[in-house]
Amino acid sequence: MALASRARALLPGARSWGAVLARVTAQRAMSHRVVVETDAAAGVAVMKFRNPPVNSLSLEMVTELVINLEKLENDKTVRGLIFTSESPGVFSSGLNLLDMYGRNPAHYAEYWKAVQELWLRLYQCPMVTVATINGACPAGGCLISMTCDYRVMADNPKYTIGLNETQLGIVAPFWFKDTLVNTIGYRASEISLQLGLLYPPAEALRVGIVDKVVPEDQVHSAALAVMAQWLAIPDHARQLTKAMLRKPTVDNLVRQRDADIQQFVSFISRDSIQKGLQMYLQMLKQKKA
Ligand SMILES: CCCCCCCCC/C=C/C(=O)SCCNC(=O)CCNC(=O)[C@H](O)C(C)(C)COP(=O)(O)OP(=O)(O)OC[C@H]1O[C@@H](n2cnc3c(N)ncnc32)[C@H](O)[C@@H]1OP(=O)(O)O
């Protein structure tokens, strides 16, 4: 779908992703939640999350991620993309709970469409993608990491990764589940997803949700080394192979995008789910206090 039509699909009346972002951020001061640094000679870009305090994937953040991805995909000099957090400690705390709590159905629908768009773009990204997981990585953060071709995690037992949705009383949608199954296999997913497990680095490596665990001060150099290995493969062959492997999973969501949005809106709007999210947010506050 062309850029302009995708933007219109996300927000009716908008002519481009730029216009979408302008509307999304209209009520807030413009800020950059995503920092992109490009090494043109190496053909590698690093996308750093900068959305304090915990890099939650707010509507604004998701929109900025999509815009930046689109720009990089159009830049033929960039062949590889590394994701990381600008501040070690939290890679991403996942979807922004405040975009899923206490809002109206139109907002939930807009948010979910943007999250779908991000996943579709990341999962089909023609660049080599590597997640450098330098902090906590629950739920949506884990989803982003799993869309990458390779995951390197810092060896810090305080950091955990996994799809913990059930612990919040919510359900990971089928395409989160599909991404997990494609990463760690069916049986491990049955256990992981139902219990909402968050794995520390050694266990994450054992179950296969990450591919490499390295000392924290080596996480970036390790990601660059992995990138160099992947970039040694001719792009066209690797891209077609990736597309072939991932197409059935992508098609599964594309076929039922609108139904998935409706399902999300009706699920998240339920009183019982809203109450559960309220309690979870309170628990996070109390933990802090
Ligand atoms: C049928 C199918 C239909 C579909 C059904 C629906 C499908 C939904 C799928 C959902 C996917 C998700 O990603 S749901 C999101 C899951 N995420 C999580 O469970 C992570 C929760 N957060 C944490 O565990 C921690 O914050 C962690 C990331 C480890 C960082 O710990 P720290 O001690 O550094 O920081 P904290 O003190 O906890 O948090 C700092 C502040 O950030 C806030 N905060 C933390 N995480 C946040 C988040 N995700 N969104 C918003 N705000 C968040 C806290 O409330 C604090 O706010 P103040 O007190 O105000 O400062």
Indicate the pTM of the whole model: 0.92
Q: Which amino acid is at 131?
A: A
Q: Tell me if 24 sits within 8 A of 65, measured CB to CB.
A: no
Same domain, 24 and 80: no
Token pair in block for residue 289: 């206090």
Q: Is the pLDDT of residue 232 over 70?
A: yes
283 in contact with ligand 1, CB cutoff 6 A: no
Confidence of residue 192 (pLDDT cuts 50, 70, 90): very high
Rama region for 227: left / alpha / beta (φ>0; ψ in -120 to 50; rest): alpha
Q: Are residues 16 and 149 in the same domain?
A: no
Q: What number of CA atoms fall less than 13 Å from residue 94's CA on the CB side?
A: 19
What pLDDT sits at residue 63? Answer: 97
Protein residue with its CA nearest to atom 19 in ligand 1: 138
pLDDT at 140 over 70: yes
**Does 252 participate in catalysis according to the annotation?**
no
Both 24 and 40 in one domain: the answer is: no
DSSP string of 207-242, one letter each residue: HTSSSEEE-GGGHHHHHHHHHHHHHTS-HHHHHHHH
Please report which helix (H) or strand (E) contains residue 33, including its range.
none
Give kind and range of the element (H or E) at residue 66: helix 59-74
Does residue 140 carry a catalytic annotation?
Answer: yes
In the residue annotation, 165 being an active-site residue is answered as: yes
- 16 and 47 both lie in a single domain: no
Q: What is the CATH number of the domain that holds 81?
A: 3.90.226.10
34-39 and 44-49 as β-strands: parallel, antiparallel, unpaired? antiparallel
214 and 72 assigned to the same domain = yes
Mean pLDDT of 14-22: 47
Mean pLDDT of 194-217: 98
Where in the sequence is the domain holding 211, given as residue range(s)? 31-288
Query: Residue 275 pLDDT > 70, yes or no?
Result: yes
Given pLDDT bands bounded at 50, 70 and 90, which one contains residue 190?
very high
The pLDDT score that the predictor gives to residue 31 is 66
User: Distance from first CA to last CA of the chain, Å, rounded?
Assistant: 47
Rounded to an integer, the average pLDDT of 8-28 is 45
What is the average pLDDT score of the chain?
92
Closest listed residue to residue 279, CA positions, set 111, 160, 167: 167
Ligand 1, pocket-test mutation among 101, 146, 284, 286, most atoms within 8 A of CB? 284
For 136, phi then psi, to 5°, come to -55, 145
Mutate to test the pocket of ligand 1, among 33, 54, 253, 286 (most ligand atoms within 8 A of CB): 54
pLDDT score recorded for residue 196: 98
Mind listing the pLDDT tens digit for each residue in 56-111?
999 999 999 999 999 999 999 999 999 999 999 999 999 999 999 999 999 999 99
Judge whether residue 220 has pLDDT over 60. yes
Nearest CA to ligand 1 atom 28: 93
- Whether 118 and 17 map to the same domain: the answer is no
Our count of domains for the chain comes to: 2
Whether 3 and 66 map to the same domain: the answer is no
Once rounded to an integer, what is the mean pLDDT over residues 234-247? Answer: 98
pLDDT of residue 13: 43
146 pLDDT above the threshold of 90: yes
Dist. CA 80–CA 66, nearest whole Å: 16
The residues pairing with 250 across neighbouring beta strands, listed in sequence order, are: none
Q: What is the pLDDT of residue 288?
A: 79
Q: Are residues 14 and 109 in the same domain?
A: no
Verify that 97 and 112 share a domain, yes or no. yes
In the chain, the largest separation of any two C-alpha atoms, in whole Å, equals 53
pLDDT at 11: 43
Read off the pLDDT of each residue in 196-204 and give the average, rounded to a whole number.
98
